[in-house]
């Protein structure tokens, strides 16, 4: 069964450094999403992406964040200058249409020191 | 602003018991509601998706209901098994507007279920 994959599974970085989180959505899906979950807190929507542009974003997704689909298979989340509070599990998801079920990847655990 | 609440926060039941997990939301202008399962340190697995026009959805031993007017959904698990032990999340997609907001899904914090053999 097709699945969403994410790399790396764990990432440790120093405050102020740039990180790029990688996702490979399900191949025929058209909508892509990033979510985050701070330890012990709710899963939070960050951004959705369709047709090579951001379709919606939350208040969390400020200028420090960017997303890109550099080729036909990858979907990346970049954090330009990481802060301690960016430490969280980051989930990528994809869906065939905007109405249908979103399929989530296993997540990347980011720790900012 | 949509708020999603899940009760109870944790639940421990003996194997074989039927159980109900609750989800409530404050804004009834929703497009759909989805139940997920999250295993420790893992991603989210979609269990059931209920469109706003639907009252319930079933998959195997799982049944989810939706009462949009009262802002409630329940997830019923029949004949629980130890493998059902996980955190169950409820997520609401808003109806949105011309300016957007349609995809800003709001999650509850989840109910942590433990099924004891």
Would you say B64 and B82 are in contact if contact means Cβ atoms under 8 Å apart?
A: no
Q: For chains A and B, what is the number of CB pairs under 8 angstroms?
A: 53
Nearest CA in chain A to B112: A40
Residue with tokens 């109405």: A99
Structure tokens at A62: 């400020």
Give the mutation candidate from B36, B41, B43, B97 for the A interface (greatest A CB count, under 10 A): B43
Closest residue to A43, CB basis, from B32, B89, B103? B89
Which residues are registered as beta bridge partners of B1?
none
Mark which residues 27-86 of B lie under 8 Å from A by CB: 31-32, 34, 36, 41-46, 49, 51
Query: Strand pairing of B86-94 and B106-107?
Result: antiparallel
- Percentage of residues of chain B with pLDDT beyond 70: 95
Give A42-72 pLDDT, tens digit per residue: 999 999 999 999 999 999 999 999 999 988 7
Mark which residues 19-78 of A lie under 8 Å from B by CB: 33, 41-45, 48, 55-56, 58
Which has the minimum average pLDDT: A28-32, A87-91, B40-44, B63-67? Answer: B40-44
Structure tokens at B20: 């109900």
Three-class DSSP category at A8: coil
Closest residue to A45, CB basis, from B42, B105, B108? B105
Query: Strand pairing of B30-38 and B19-25?
Result: unpaired
Kind plus residue range of the DSSP H or E element containing A47: strand A43-50
Separation CA B7–CA B83 (nearest Å): 21
Give B40-74 pLDDT, tens digit per residue: 878 899 999 999 999 999 999 999 999 999 999 99
Secondary structure tally for chain B: helices H, strands E: 0, 11
Separation CA A67–CA A49 (nearest Å): 8
Give B8-28 pLDDT, tens digit per residue: 999 999 999 999 999 999 999
């Amino acid at each position: 069964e097709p699945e969403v994959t994410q790399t790396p599974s764990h990432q440790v970085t120093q405050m102020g450094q740039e990180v790029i989180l990688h996702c490979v959505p399900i191949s025929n899906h058209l909508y892509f999403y990033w979510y985050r979950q701070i330890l012990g807190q709710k899963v939070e929507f960050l951004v959705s992406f369709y047709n090579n542009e951001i379709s919606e974003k939350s208040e969390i997704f400020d200028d420090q964040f960017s997303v890109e689909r550099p080729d036909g298979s990858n979907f990346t989340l970049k954090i330009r200058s990481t802060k301690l509070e960016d430490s969280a599990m980051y989930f990528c998801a994809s869906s065939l249409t905007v109405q249908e079920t979103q399929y989530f990847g296993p997540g990347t655990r980011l720790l900012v020191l | 602003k949509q708020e999603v609440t899940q009760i109870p926060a944790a639940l421990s039941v003996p194997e074989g018991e039927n159980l109900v997990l609750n989800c409530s939301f404050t804004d009834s202008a929703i497009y759909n509601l989805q139940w997920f399962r999250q295993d420790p340190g893992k991603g989210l697995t979609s269990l059931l998706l209920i469109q706003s026009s639907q009252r319930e959805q079933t998959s195997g031993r799982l049944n989810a209901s939706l009462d949009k007017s009262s802002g409630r959904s329940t997830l019923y698990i029949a004949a629980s098994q130890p493998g059902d032990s996980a955190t169950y999340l409820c997520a609401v997609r808003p109806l949105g507007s011309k300016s957007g907001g349609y995809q800003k899904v709001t999650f509850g914090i989840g109910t942590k279920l433990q099924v004891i053999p």
